[in-house]
Structure 1
Amino acid sequence: MQSSLPPLRALQAFESFGRLGSVTAAARELGVTAGAISQQIKILEAQLKMPLIMKDGRRASLAPAARPYHELLSSGFDKLRRAQGLLAERMEDREVEISGLPTLLLKWLNPRLHRFSAPQGTVSFRLEATHVEPEAQFLNRMFRLTYGMASEMHPHRRALFHDVCFPVCSPEFLARNPDAARPENMGGLPWVDIDWGPAYAGIPRLGDWLRAQGAPLPRAKPLSVHSLSGSALEAAASGQGITLAQHSFASVDLRLGRLVRLSEAAIPMPEPYYICWASMLLENDVARAFLNWIQSEARVD
């Protein structure tokens, strides 16, 4: 048994010859001369210490003893070719896969995706809304949109924007409670809270905004508490009360008139939102174009 594998070029020349049936065809496939193919097969024969081809006049073919060896070798090269094909398909893939925090995808990314113009044709998007950060190896095929320190676990990251927060409510709620636009009155009105959980204890809430304005804190418990900012915004849009909205999440509803901004005063989020990825992902030209585009979109805000 050989202690080491023969040279890859010799194996490749032999595999191509046995599959195609001639030195000339193998040379054409591999882009070398017929003499180079013959030389590599001789190198392989010398290392294996066995004849690999036999000649019948001017015609050469696999030696009977070499056929089982070629069959196994050919199956290995076939897997290599298929692996390369899959990689090439991924590099040419016209789909962009994005994992992201649910409200970030729903309220910030979704409304602007139609503005992305892919190089050389159309592109489709696959969006996965989840709070769970994907394992690093998955970022070779998808982007991750996330917040704050969670981005540090990923191979590459870039800050997209640093958001600000302000109180909002529905037009109907404001019509019923015209004093809601005054900070000193907000603490006595129904309100909707947002709680992302203990890992995000520093995320501002309505009481933080009121404190920053020197206004009284809410005097009663919130009408409801939501783990998703998007869910809290929907509750506010339905007229349930006041909530502290992030600009990036509320901008479309404000523009459509579903929500009303109650004050120009705003407080900042503690950390930025990020886009994250792994190096291999950017070997795809569509992925590179998307990364450039989303960063330009974030600058518009």
Structure 2
Amino acid sequence: MITRLPSIASLLAFEAAAGSGSFAKAANQLCVTPAAISQQVQSLEIHLEVKLFDRFKTGVKLTRAGQSYLVSILGGLEKLRLAQQQIVQFNNLEILTITALPSVAQKWLMPLVLEWMDINPKIEVRVEASHAKINFNHSASDMCISFGDTGYSECFKDKLVQDSVCVVASPELLNKLAQPLALKKVLELPMIHVDWGDDNCNLPQWQDWLDATTGEPFPIQAGPRFNLSSMAIDAAVQGKGLLLGQQLLIAEEIKLHKLVPLFPTQLPLGEAYFLIYPQRTLDNPNAKNLINWLKAQF
């Protein structure tokens, strides 16, 4: 019976290779060479006295023993990562990290965070922008702003707001049209498009707005296309076209008269925004204060 534990380095190499199906990809993930991954996996196989991978020219594939071993060790690695993150949090109670989608972080979250830091000058809040779901066992984030709440089964999930979109344009663009503005003429202007990829079904598109507003067929005009809402907002401010903009993200531009709402029709997004955080976050009183303050803003 084998009682001596293998090295952490060999377990991490095995985990990365199993997840990627390639020693080269695992090496890139762990910032080492493919030869180092191969050596670590080989040493683990010798230690366990079992073959973990079948090797092919195109990559590697877990054997039945390898599949079983992977399932067994993943839980242990997760617990080690969680313990490490908790130690970091305990040592940095005055540093909080919150993650959000890039456009949400830039246009909506940052102004709120700066306001909270003015009220709490001894606390540092770090805002990280990411499209990825946050795995709180792997991440130093204390909380995240998520579009929808799927994928966070073991976390607290507080619904903040369900945003909606409306049509806006820059004053400079509208000045090119005769006054008073006619719907038909406005809808002949270029239309800025936002592509959310897999989440497009949750973002109202121009056809949705036209169907809800006009009651008659209007063509969808060509225009710039972006995969970030913040870039689309910047283009609208520069007068590059009409924008079907999220109201939370364009509030400042409307306040400063950089963008003008044109029609009363508003369409809700398919998901709400949630504030999500793990149990460990509640152990930090500063994090709890930030959570309560953010929730009170809506």
State the TM-score, normalized to the length of structure 1: 0.64
- SS of alignment partner, residue 137 of structure 1: coil
The Cα of 1:181 is off from its aligned counterpart by 4.9
Aligned match of 1:294 = 294
The Cα of 1:139 is off from its aligned counterpart by 5.8
CA distance in 1, matches of 2:139, 2:111: 23
C-alpha RMSD of matched pairs (Å):
2.7
The Cα of 1:220 is off from its aligned counterpart by 4.9
Note the residue ranges of structure 2 that are not aligned, 5 or more in a row. Answer: 1-82
Q: Does 1:166 align with 2:156?
A: no
Note the residue ranges of structure 1 that are not aligned, 5 or more in a row. Answer: 1-82
Change (3 A) 1:94 1:244: same
Q: How does 1:14-25 map to 2 (within 5 A)?
A: none
User: 1:186 touches 1:218 (CA, 8 Å); kept in 2?
Assistant: no
Aligned match of 2:106 = 106
Q: Write the letter of the residue equivalent to 2:231.
A: S
Aligned match of 1:223 = 223
Query: 4+ residue runs of structure 1 moved beyond 6 angstroms?
Result: none
CA distance in 1, matches of 2:107, 2:125: 16
The Cα of 1:119 is off from its aligned counterpart by 8.4
Change (3 A) 1:199 1:207: same
CA distance in 1, matches of 2:263, 2:112: 26
Q: Write the letter of the residue equivalent to 1:162.
A: Q
Larger-gyration structure (1/2): 1
Q: How does 1:92-103 map to 2 (within 5 A)?
A: 93-103=93-103
Aligned length: 215
User: C-alpha offsets along residues 227-246 of structure 1, whole Å, 9 cap, x if unaligned?
Assistant: 11111011000000101011
Q: Write the letter of the residue equivalent to 1:206.
A: W
* Stretch moving more, 110-119 or 230-239: 110-119
CA distance in 1, matches of 2:112, 2:180: 31
Q: How does 1:63-102 map to 2 (within 5 A)?
A: 87=87, 90=90, 93-102=93-102
Q: How does 1:35-50 map to 2 (within 5 A)?
A: none
Q: How does 1:167-182 map to 2 (within 5 A)?
A: 167-178=167-178, 181-182=181-182
User: 2:163 touches 2:247 (CA, 8 Å); kept in 1?
Assistant: yes
CA distance in 2, matches of 1:226, 1:250: 16
User: 2:194 touches 2:227 (CA, 8 Å); kept in 1?
Assistant: yes
Change (3 A) 1:180 1:125: farther
Q: Does 1:266 align with 2:266?
A: yes
CA distance in 2, matches of 1:185, 1:217: 14
Give the fraction of aligned pairs with identical amino acids, expressed as a percent: 24
Q: Write the letter of the residue equivalent to 2:191.
A: W
